[in-house]
Structure 1
Amino acid sequence: MPTMTAPQGHPGVTALTAQEREVLHALGCGLEDAEIADTLALPEDVVAGRLGGVLVKLGLRNRAAAIVHAFDCGLVVPGLGPRGQAAVPGAAFPARTGPASGPWLRVSVLGPLRVRLAGRPVDVGPVRQQAVLAALALSPDRSVSRRQLLDGVWGTESPGGNVVPVYVYRLRKSLRTGECPDSVIRRDRYGYGLVRDVVEVDVACVEELVTAAGAAERAGDLTEAVRLCSRALELFRGEPLAGLPGPSAESERLRLTGRRVALAQRKADWQLELGRVAEAIAGLSALALEEPLNEPVAALLMRALRRGGRRAEALAVFDRTGRRLADELRVAPGEPLLRARWAVLRGDDAGTGRGRAGSA
């Protein structure tokens, strides 16, 4: 365990009870009150009371200061989760610390834009200003030029002028705290970007979980692969970038929606390999309602229903999807659906494309 040295002016965590240290540790790992309650099997009001005791005993003003204190005194080590367990990538949005002069920020785009700075929600202004921040969050490894932001957020309605610098200025003001006055938005000769190592974006957490799921699959642990894929899907909170305007947001909305569908298919495919047929059917049925014209999803649902001995329902999926394709797109069922129907009629897995439902 690291040596705990208190920041100047504050007592060390040794002033806390074991229960208070446990709550402070979970807070430092980025968990909200409800998540701490679930992790420690405590009622939320007990968690709130213990956090209040921590602030009083350590002479700290707020939760953000408590998080900083947890890192400064060595109670929380980056990469370790609550109770000292190795953190699952992306689990509960694990907190990171950046340079001492910079705040840390969490941006969620897998639903309506949601921003939290030092654990607190932040209002980042009107929708186009939100769209500028989202564009920066979705370009973590490169700078985004002023022209790209104008085209991506305003499209053909680009106002020109200094609207981008003005919005960036306002965002910088919003994304500062008293403890950390520097901005998380940098500027270089190529444009604007978010400062690395002080920002968490939920899309990056999804990709970390997917990478871990792929590693689990290669190791032969499909149960763990399903669990990690489920965690990734849980980070989706509705339509990505919901309500944000501009060509960039629309393009990313389509891409991220497709990503979620591919992950759900991959999870269902693994569930079928594990014999968890009922779970696969439940997930695919919900997905087929959301994606009524998606033939690979319908074909995978037909396969799952056939595996569950529900051949009539599988054929009903084919008929329903075929009608929707004819009515809305004026096309006939494609090869995936035709192969799935043939497999159901034959009563075996021939032609169902058993392998992977899609690379996610």
Structure 2
Amino acid sequence: MSDTATENSDVLLTVDRGVGTVTLNRPRAINALSHAMVRDIDAALVRWEDDPSVRAVLITGNGERGLCAGGDIVAIHDDAKTKAGENWPTGSATAQFWRDEYVMNSRINRYGKPIVALMDGAVMGGGVGISAHATVRIVTEKSKVAMPEVGIGFVPDVGGTYLLARTPGEIGTHLALTTARMTAGDAVAAGFADHYVPTEDLPAFVEALHTGTVDTALSLVSPVPESALAAQREWIDAAYTGDDAASIVARLRADGRDEAVAAADAIETKSPTSVAVTLRSLRRAAAASSLDEVLDDEYRVSIACLDSPDLVEGIRAQVVDKDRQPRWTPAHLDDVTTSDVDRFFAPLGDAELGLTSAAADSVSKGPQS
């Protein structure tokens, strides 16, 4: 039966046989998330968590291209370019979008019922946030999973740095700095997914979820393909150690093998500031005790990115003008200073996301009568 969305909505919400289904419904945009979609999804999750008729949640997307290619970055570009409104940047429309999105990401992670995410096709940026924190994460032969933010002058968010920092060895650092795409096997090896189901078997998997239980559906999974990325751990782990991005590039070039040199080439096409800030973010995320702590940190970084020239320039070059020739400021990794990076982590005062403080308040108050 229907929940609250209409057939023309960008997100369809239904409840059928005990399963609440979130269907992203912008196939022409590879289901990119708008602020309205995030609000609708989060509101549904709140309703369903307390609804005894809902025993599990399914997250999927319409169209053949992918679950979700990320957020609406053109809207972010326009907001960052105009710097409109009071209390910029914390009072901006983009800041509110990120705030609501990260709260949704946190909710998915700590949800009281199983959430099953079908990570079929492109799953990037915000698409990772809405799926890779779920209870059960399914990939297919079509899956292409990535955090491509440094290529547009941004930094991995939606809890992406938490996931990247917890991959085996330095795989996450490699993925973050090069924006490399993971196959199904790579995503499972890196901890972004759990199980593999061929696309042709997804309808049967979904039907089993509706007619049985999560375990019933999981009885239909197939062996996970091998990971080419995991097989390259030796040179990845050796090159990506430390906290200096320029040194990482130098080690990649010194390694000499084709894959390592290609990785160095890829990093040097990205925003130098974003690469340096991302590396710092990953190291901080590795030391964090919870996803909420990392989301709080990512929110500070995201807000700072709104005031960075590279975000507007990166989206312009990749999505707006599509000339693929971004002019980064500064242009080289060696020109990014420690103070340049420090400002991205500056506290926001009353504008903090505050997930960890909210959790602490909830614990300190104890159960309510």
TM-score (norm 2): 0.27
Larger Rg: 1
Structure in which a larger fraction of residues adopt strand: 2
TM-score (norm 1): 0.28
